[in-house]
């Protein structure tokens, strides 16, 4: 049995990861400062005797004894990471230094939840891991994008300089149960608007694309990456390559909810990427991983969750 640290474990992805690690028979130490995380997300995990919760901010050093670290702590939605951009950069950069230092002291492997945002508003399509990205370093998204890019730099320097075993996953847009209703992300916004028959807010003309991965697939990918051979560091794209425009997404959600909502158009936020699609050939070849859940099925389950947010998650 391993003792595994999950930072950001009370957040959307972290709560699913904690559940998966517990089900695989591990002990889990969930560390979270509850900036965007919620007790509700981990409520049922508190019943597991192998689950421990520690309120802590990873911008401060942490001294614990564990066998592996998954570093997920960081607000991920534009509304939340732009709320206190200095803290966002600190969480990515100082948080990475602290977690890498912990991993170095304990001589254990550490996985970083990086992001497709390291590609910025990409000039190549789909995005391959070799692409260096197109990020505005002084724009409103930079606290997140550049923070995550710097965290990747730190991971690779600890690997080269201290021979630390690292795993870097570049996560693309993920959705599913435990998404926060108020975090402004497109899937949660559209579902809630549709369920309440309110207008669906399309930013810009809605022709921008994203590629949405269901949370169970994503967690499976992170887990496989952590289990991979020592020499596999990534960065590796983990996402669903099926690309969808925001108009198409809105129409699917209206259809699935039977909503009477209409579409309304609002200003496109600054530096909003026009298209995004992962090239996942590496994940397929190296990890033998590819997403299984189709968008329609994933949306149906997510809609069901938003209709009954207190129901236990089945997976
Ligand atoms: P989330 O906001 O739901 O979860 C983040 C968690 O980190 C929250 O529980 C929050 O309270 C915690 N946290 C934030 N700052 C912290 C700090 N300084 N110290 C301790 N805890 C802190 O976001 P999420 O969607 O679950 O994302 C998890 C990770 O995956 C993030 O690192 C994010 O950048 C990455 N990611 C997510 C997506 C996605 O689509 N959800 C896409 C790309 C990358
Ligand atoms: N978006 C939208 N309406 C909303 C929320 C978001 O049209 O109510 C758009 C947003 O401009 C972006 C896409 O949906 O083009 C995805 O936004 P999200 O914040 O979910 O993720 P990110 O931009 O970080 O990929």
For the segment 215-221, the average pLDDT, to the nearest whole number, is 98
Phi and psi for 247 in degrees, rounded to 5?
-65, -45
The pLDDT, as a whole number, for residue 104 is 98
Which of 310, 213, 184, 306 minimizes the C-alpha distance to 253? 306
- Above 90 in pLDDT, residue 310? no
Most ligand 1 atoms within 8 A of CB, residue of 13, 55, 82 to mutate: 13
Residue whose CA is closest, atom 27 of ligand 1?
76
Regarding the beta carbon of 213 and ligand 2, being less than 6 Å apart is answered no
Over residues 34-52, the mean pLDDT reads: 95
| Angle, alpha carbons 86-143-12 (nearest 5°) | 95
How distant is the alpha carbon of residue 257 from its chain centre? 25
The CATH number of domain 3-174+213-240+276-291 is 3.40.50.720: yes
pTM of the model: 0.97
Q: What pLDDT is stored for residue 309 in this prediction?
A: 79
Give the residue extent of every domain in the chain: 3-174+213-240+276-291
Rounded to 5 degrees, what angle do the CA atoms 108, 114, 119 make?
145
Q: For 151, left (φ over 0), alpha (ψ -120 to 50), or beta?
A: alpha
Question: DSSP H helical segments within the chain, as ranges?
Answer: 12-23, 39-42, 78-81, 85-106, 142-162, 186-195, 215-227, 246-257, 281-282, 295-307
Instruction: Say yes or no: CB of residue 77 within 6 Å of ligand 2.
Output: yes
Q: How many angstroms separate the alpha carbon of residue 22 from the centre of ligand 2? A: 32
Q: Is the pLDDT of residue 235 over 80?
A: yes
Question: How many angstroms does the Cα of residue 155 sit away from the middle of ligand 2?
Answer: 28
Percent of the chain whose pLDDT exceeds 90? 97
Q: 7 C-alpha vs ligand 1 centroid, how far in Å?
A: 9
Over range 218-238, report the average pLDDT: 98
Digit-coded pLDDT (tens) for 92-150 = 999 999 999 999 999 999 999 999 999 999 999 999 999 999 999 999 999 999 999 99
Going by alpha carbons, the residue nearest to atom 37 of ligand 1 is 76
Summarised one tens digit per residue, pLDDT across range 54-76 is 999 999 999 999 999 999 999 99
Mutate to test the pocket of ligand 1, among 72, 149, 169 (most ligand atoms within 8 A of CB): 72
């Amino acid at each position: 049995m391993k003792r595994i640290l999950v930072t950001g474990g009370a957040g959307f992805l972290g709560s699913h990861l904690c559940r998966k690690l517990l089900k695989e028979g591990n002990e889990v130490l969930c560390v979270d400062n509850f900036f965007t995380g919620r007790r509700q997300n981990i409520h049922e995990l508190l019943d597991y005797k192998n689950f421990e919760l520690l309120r802590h901010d990873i911008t401060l050093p942490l001294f614990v004894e564990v066998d592996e670290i998954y570093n997920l702590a960081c607000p991920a939605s534009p509304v939340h990471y732009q709320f206190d951009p200095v803290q966002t950069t600190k969480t990515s950069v100082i948080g990475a230094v602290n977690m890498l230092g912990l991993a170095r002291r304990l001589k254990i492997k550490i996985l970083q939840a990086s992001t497709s945002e390291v590609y910025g508003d990409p000039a190549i399509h789909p995005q391959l891991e070799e692409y260096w990205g197109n990020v505005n370093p002084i724009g409103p998204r930079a606290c997140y994008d550049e923070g995550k890019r710097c965290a990747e730099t730190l991971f690779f320097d600890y690997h080269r300089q201290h021979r630390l075993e690292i795993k870097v996953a570049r996560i693309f847009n993920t959705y599913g149960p435990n998404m926060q209703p108020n975090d402004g992300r497109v899937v949660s916004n559209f579902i809630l608007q549709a369920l309440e028959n309110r207008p669906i807010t399309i930013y810009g003309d809605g022709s921008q694309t994203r590629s949405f991965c269901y949370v169970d697939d994503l967690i499976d990918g992170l887990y496989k990456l952590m289990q991979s051979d020592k020499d596999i560091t990534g960065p590796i794209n983990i996402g669903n390559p099926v690309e969808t425009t925001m108009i198409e997404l809105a129409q699917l959600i209206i259809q699935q909810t039977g909503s009477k909502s209409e579409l309304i158009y609002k200003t496109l936020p600054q530096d909003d990427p026009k298209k995004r699609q992962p090239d996942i050939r590496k994940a397929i070849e190296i990890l033998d991983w590819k997403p299984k859940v189709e968008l329609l099925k994933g949306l149906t389950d997510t809609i069901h969750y938003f209709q009954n947010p207190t129901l236990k998650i089945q997976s």
